[in-house]
């Protein structure tokens, strides 16, 4: 049974409007449907890249176009991909001026050196045909200017199970906003994005908390060791609570069981299996 989940960070009732909430719900439903159609004829790895690239193109979410701006006024993005069947992980860290960081991560799958950062990542992207592209939007610049006077926490991701039983996870982020220049999130690490032949997990939230808790890797390892996906999530999030961690995660196991959890409401997500669509409320 093929299925997938996507996430788009967090939604705060206190600082985001009802109209924004409806827009995010509609966007997630549309992207989930398009991605499931793609999944019918493509692998889990190809599908999670496809889904995350759509999320990177949507200005509602903090990845690709619409990414947050760091404290020095620049946008630096991170993204990673993991194929559960091959157990290969690839990613880019703090890459600048590319439209789809997740697609650069995908190209890196063929390399021996599969995680690149900063200027090296940008140079590799250019050499592989990725054109210069500004991902800044006026709203992010306005938010940045406000922060200079005195965050929003979000990332996007997808996990998928394909018709052949293969799993994959992809995650992309524009950071938490106004962070120290060069700060590295969880999104291009196995703490935030992990998959094997048993389970695939993608995280969102505060990267430092997710890394401290090794969230994605813990959940996948526990499912591999025999826990149900529900129990693996609950155990891992109980440990996250011990450090008051701010995170959300989506996951799917090899049997098509999907699960999501958050430490603070509310994570923006959608799941679809061809019949049932579930969207955050």
DSSP string, 171-198: EEE--SSSPPTT---STTSTTTEEE-SS
155 catalytically annotated: yes
| Conformational region of residue 122, where left means phi above 0, alpha means psi within -120 to 50, and beta covers everything else | alpha
Q: Distance between the two ends of the chain, CA-based, in angstroms?
A: 25
Cβ atoms < 10 Å from Cβ of 13: 10
The annotation status of 35 as a binding-site residue, yes or no, is: no
pTM of whole model > 0.75?
Answer: yes
Query: From CA 75, how far away is CA 16, in angstroms rounded?
Result: 22
Q: Please tell me whether 43 is known to bind a ligand.
A: no
CATH 3.60.20.30 for domain 3-279, yes or no, is yes
pLDDT tens for each residue of 30-69: 999 999 999 999 999 999 999 999 999 999 999 999 999 9
173 annotated to bind ligand: no
Q: What is the pLDDT of residues 259-279, one digit of tens each?
A: 999 999 899 999 999 999 999
pLDDT of residue 228: 98
DSSP 133: -
Residues of the chain with pLDDT under 70: 14, 147-154
Contacts of 119 (CB under 8 A, 6+ apart): none
To which residue do tokens 């090899």 refer? Answer: 254
Which of the following is catalytic: 47, 65, 135, 155? 155
Judge whether 95 is annotated as a binding position.
no
Q: What is the per-residue pLDDT for 21?
A: 94
pLDDT at residue 25 in the model = 97
């Amino acid at each position: 049974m093929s299925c997938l989940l996507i996430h788009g960070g967090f939604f705060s009732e206190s600082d985001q409007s009802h109209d924004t909430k409806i827009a995010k719900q509609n966007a997630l439903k549309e992207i989930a449907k398009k991605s499931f159609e793609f999944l019918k004829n493509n692998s889990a790895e190809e599908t999670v890249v496809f889904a995350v690239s759509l999320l990177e193109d949507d200005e509602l979410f903090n990845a690709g176009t619409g990414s947050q701006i760091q404290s020095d006024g620049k946008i630096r993005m991170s993204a990673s991909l993991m194929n559960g069947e091959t157990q290969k992980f690839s990613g880019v860290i703090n890459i600048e001026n590319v439209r789809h960081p997740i697609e650069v991560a995908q190209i890196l799958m063929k390399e021996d050196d599969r995680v690149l950062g900063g200027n090296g990542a940008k140079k590799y992207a250019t050499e592989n045909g990725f054109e210069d592209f500004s991902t800044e939007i006026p709203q992010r610049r306005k938010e940045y200017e406000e922060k200079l006077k005195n965050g929003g926490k979000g990332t996007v991701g997808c996990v998928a199970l394909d018709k052949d039983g293969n799993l994959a996870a992809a995650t992309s982020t524009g950071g938490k906003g106004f962070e120290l220049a060069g700060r590295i999130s969880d999104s291009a690490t196995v703490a935030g994005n992990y998959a094997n032949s048993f389970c695939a997990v993608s995280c969102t939230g505060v990267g430092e908390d997710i890394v401290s808790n090794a969230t994605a890797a813990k959940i996948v390892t526990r499912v591999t060791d025999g826990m149900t996906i529900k129990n693996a999530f609950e155990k891992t999030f109980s440990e996250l609570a011990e450090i008051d961690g701010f995170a959300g995660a989506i996951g799917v196991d090899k049997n098509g069981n999907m699960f999501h959890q958050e430490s603070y409401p509310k994570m923006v997500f959608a799941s679809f299996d061809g019949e049932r669509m579930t969207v955050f409320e």
